[in-house]
Chain A
Amino acid sequence: MTTSETMARASAKSSGHTYAPKDGLLLQVADLHVEFHTPDGIARAINGVNFDLYEGQTLAILGESGSGKSVTAQAIMGILDMPPAVIPHGQIRYCGEDLLTMDPEQRRRTRGPEISMVFQDALSSLNPVFPVGWQIAEMFRVHRGMNKSDALERAVKLMQRVQIPAAKERVKAYPHQFSGGMRQRIMIAMAIALDPAVLIADEPTTALDVTVQAQIMALLQELQEERQMGLILITHDLGVVADVADKIAVMYAGRIVERADVFDLYRKPAHPYTKGLLESIPRLDQKGQQLAAIGGLPPNLMRIPNGCAFNPRCKYAQDVCREDRPALLEVVPGRESACHFAEEVLNG
């Protein structure tokens, strides 16, 4: 992180940011736990997640359904349904301030101007009864106290920025009148409206066609570089994040099991689960061979296995894996894995 970038962020403060990052460190998630208290028992969705996010950095969080990746995003955003969700431990520090202990009103004011989020299904995530321009403009009206016409003007500019054709004419159109890709662009325009420092994108392209997926990812990357946002990209699709992410954290049963730079991880995974995921991607040079899928099912979050949560599905599993839970440790510099046999996996 250079001084000039820090300066840039500091000057951003005058344009509406209440908080300034120290040494570019935007977000620190520390020992985060999230449980869901349901009539059938307690589901432990997140069991001690740690990560940092810096300005201009793109962190991809990868995992299957139920791995806790979306819950992590929702916990950071503060949009978990509480109850049934409970956060028994952990901190989420934004520019040094713990969001979890922050006064609710103060926390609300961070949503939008400081941290903001793009959701998976833009059709259901946009309000069906308000025009899209109105919904974007609402950000300026609520957080900046702008009047209706000024806010709408800003909304048009944002729609142009995310490359919506004929933005001026379509500002009064409703969400259902746009295609899936265009709706996701509107969602993005709304999320970046107040120039947030952190943008969380929760499966932003899952509901879209493959060609549109690439366009949306390119747009996100472009905006991230332009504004030096910290971007958290939540996905279950390795292919989507490969070009965009700097770092990847792989989650399994509510824990990060591997973390590495994106190219290192792709080249040589250091956790059996990541290895399994990579092997399950169809490749052209494997034509005619059987696709390697990971056997078994993700664990029931109410009965996470003792030891390593992945052990019932792991071909490396030994007795130690059923007794001791491996910590997330550095295997080689810049690479972390939570596996008793990380080195064997990495070198094997």
Chain B
Amino acid sequence: MYKYILRRLLQMIPVLLGSTFIIFAMVFALPGDPTAGMCGERPCAPAFVAKFRLEHNLDDPLPTQYAKYMVNVAQGDLGTNFRGIKVADELKTRYPTTAKLAGMAIIFETIIGVFAGVLAGIRKGRFVDNLVLVSTLFVIAIPIFVIGATLQYYLGVRWKIFPVTVSPEATFYELLLPAFVLGSGSIAYVARLTRTNLVENLRADYVRTAVAKGLTRRRAIGLHTLRNSLIPVVTFIGADFGGLLGGAIVTERIFNIQGVGGYTFSSLHNHDGVAVVGTVTVLVLVFLLANLLVDLLYGVLDPRITHD
């Protein structure tokens, strides 16, 4: 197991270097003015441009630029935004809210998604199954910001069931609706994936064995079949984590949440390139780590993986 973790960590390094290099190249090295849009609709003052180029080592050769940038990132220096506040400090105060939001969304995904998927799978072809299949398709097709704005309007503004916006404290109750919105698409995917896998696995020989062993239907499905069906679901949740982080930017904007996503949006809005790049780089790192975690979990869930 430790060997496996080590191998995975080593494999992650080139991916990490590669993806950060791409991010870096996109922002600083591609032809084009990296300060474009930073000063509103007008071109920036030459003094600002010169200062920016110096700060970001833009006159060095590309590999040196990248190395210097990475050294800074490794030291937790993500640059300074246009208000003169360190991006890393901004993120430090904001990440707990986003972590809470994303965590709740994943819990929703897992609980509601798996439950709906199981319900549909064991009643394949019946009303519940069709209901789940059709409703999830609609949830997937409607963009998250439409779902968010609509639910916010009806559940928050009109019927006053949930708070309309989230205070800086971001309490559990305030985050319920935003987390549900953030997780909605993934809930739908998880439900469909669980259903498909459950239906397929219910035909497996080992389920027949489970019944022949005299197990109850509840145990044969809830333990033997579901355990196997959830392996791909875990993989999906890991791969989908990136989508969740992107979605957080949208959700935090809609519900005015003071998290990392909201910060990304306001930085975008203010054309604050340094802040956007720093934040997104961190989000990509988090995504990579989440994927590693899921890979390890996968090894635990599916004994055929680690032991080969």
Write the residues of chain A forming the contact surface with B, with a CB cutoff of 8 angstroms: 77-79, 108-113, 116-117, 119, 121, 124-131, 138-139, 142-143, 174, 176-177, 187, 190
A119 and B214 form a contact (CB under 8 A) = no
CB distance from B13 to the nearest CB of A (A): 31
Partner of B211, one of A110, A111, A176, A190: A111
Determine whether the beta carbon of B228 is less than 8 Å from that of A128.
Answer: yes
Q: Is B216 among interface residues, defined by CB-CB distance under 8 A?
A: yes
- B212 at the A interface (CB under 8 A): yes
B135 on interface, CB distance cutoff 8 Å:
no
Please tell me the number of chain B residues within 8 Å of chain A, measured between CB atoms: 22
Answer yes or no: B138 CB below 8 A from chain A CBs.
no
Q: Which A residues are in CB contact (< 8 Å) with B302? A: 128-129
Contact of B227 with A by CB under 8 A: yes
Q: Is the CB of A77 within 8 A of B209?
A: no
Q: Give bound CA distance, A251 to B283, whole Å.
A: 65
**What are 30 A-B pairs at a CB distance below 8 A?**
A77-B212, A79-B208, A79-B212, A108-B216, A109-B214, A112-B212, A112-B213, A119-B205, A119-B208, A119-B212, A121-B205, A124-B204, A124-B205, A125-B205, A125-B206, A125-B209, A127-B206, A127-B228, A128-B302, A129-B227, A130-B224, A131-B303, A138-B215, A139-B213, A142-B213, A142-B214, A142-B216, A174-B304, A187-B209, A190-B209
In whole angstroms, how far apart are the Cα atoms of A174 and B210 in the complex?
Answer: 16
Question: For the complex, is B151 an interface residue (Cβ under 8 Å from A)?
Answer: no
Interface residues of B (CB under 8 A from A): 204-206, 208-216, 219, 224, 227-228, 231, 301-304, 307
CB distance from A179 to the nearest CB of B (A): 15
- Residues of chain A within 8 A (CB-CB) of B307 are 174, 176-177
Task: Find the A residue at minimum CB distance from B209.
Answer: A125
Which chain B residues border A142 with CB–CB below 8 Å?
Answer: 213-216, 219
Chain A nearest Cβ from B146, distance in angstroms: 39
How long is the Cα–Cα vector from A75 to B209 in the complex, in angstroms? 14
What separation, in Å, do the CA atoms of A130 and B215 have in the docked complex?
15
Report whether B303 and A113 are in contact in the complex, using a CB–CB cutoff of 8 Å.
no
Task: Evaluate contact between B206 and A126: CB separation under 8 angstroms.
Answer: yes
Within the complex, the shortest CB–CB distance from A71 to chain B, in Å, comes to: 13
Chain A residues with Cβ below 8 Å from B216 are: 108, 142
A174-B307, A176-B304, A177-B307 given as contacts; is B213 within 8 A of A127 (CB)? no
**Can you add 8 more A-B contacts, CB < 8 Å, to A138-B215, A142-B215?**
A78-B211, A112-B212, A125-B205, A125-B206, A127-B224, A128-B206, A128-B304, A190-B209
* A-B Cβ contacts below 8 A, count: 75
Residue among B206, B216, B227 with the highest chain A CB neighbour number at 10 A: B206
Q: How far is the CA of A143 from the CA of B228 in the complex (A)?
A: 23
CA distance A77 to B210 in the complex (A): 12
Q: How far is the CB of B285 from chain A (nearest CB, A)?
A: 31
Residues of A within 8 A of B212 (CB): 77, 79, 111-112, 116-117, 119
Cβ-neighbour of A128 out of B208, B219, B303 (below 8 A): B303
Known contacts A174-B303, A174-B304; A125/B214 CB under 8 A:
no
Are the CB atoms of A129 and B205 closer together than 8 Å?
Answer: no
Q: Which residue of A lies closest to B301 (CB)?
A: A129
Q: Within the complex, which residue of A79, A124, A131, A176 is in contact with B206, where a contact is CB–CB below 8 Å?
A: A124
The CA-CA distance from A112 to B219 in the complex, in Å, is: 15
A127–B214 CB distance below 8 A: no
* Chain B residues near A112 (CB-CB < 8 A): 212-214
User: Smallest distance from the beta carbon of B211 to chain A beta carbons, Å?
Assistant: 5
**Which residues on the A side are within 8 Å of B231 (C-beta)?**
129
> Do B214 and A113 have beta carbons less than 8 Å apart?
yes
B206 touches A108 (CB 8 A): no
A143 neighbours in B (Cβ, 8 Å): 214
Q: What is the CA–CA distance of A287 and B27 in the complex, to the nearest angstrom?
A: 80
Bound-complex Cα distance A269 to B228 (A): 48
| Least CB separation from B203: chain A residue | A81
Select from chain A the residue with minimum beta-carbon distance to B217: A108
Decide: B209 and A126 in contact? CB cutoff 8 A.
yes
A127 & B210 in contact (Cβ 8 Å cutoff): yes
- Select the residue from B208, B228, B231 with max chain A CB neighbours within 10 A: B208
**Distance (whole angstroms) from the CB of B258 to the closest CB of chain A:** 42
- Please tell me if the beta carbons of A190 and B304 are within 8 angstroms of each other in the complex: no
* Chain A residues near B227 (CB-CB < 8 A): 127, 129-130
B234 to chain A, nearest CB (A): 12
Q: Tell me the complex Cα distance, A127–B209, Å.
A: 8
For B214, the chain A residues whose CB sits under 8 A away are 108-113, 139, 142-143
A127 to B212, CA, bound (A): 13
**Inside 8 A of A77's CB, which chain B residues have their CB?**
212
- Say whether A125 contacts B301, CB under 8 Å: no
Chain B: minimal CB distance from A303 (Å):
27
Contacts of A177 in B (CB 8 A): 307
* Cβ B303 vs Cβ A129 within 8 A: yes
Measured in the bound complex, the distance between the Cα atoms of B205 and A131 in whole Å is: 17
Closest chain A residue to B219, Cβ basis: A142
Query: In the complex the two chains form, what is the Cα distance from A192 to B212 in whole Å?
Result: 12
Contacts of B211 in A (CB 8 A): 78-79, 111
Complex Cα–Cα for A125 and B203 (A): 11
Q: A187's closest neighbor in chain B, by CB? A: B209
Question: CA separation between A109 and B214, bound complex, in Å?
Answer: 6
How distant is A283 from chain B, measured CB to nearest CB, in Å?
A: 35
**Chain B, residue nearest A108 (CB):** B214
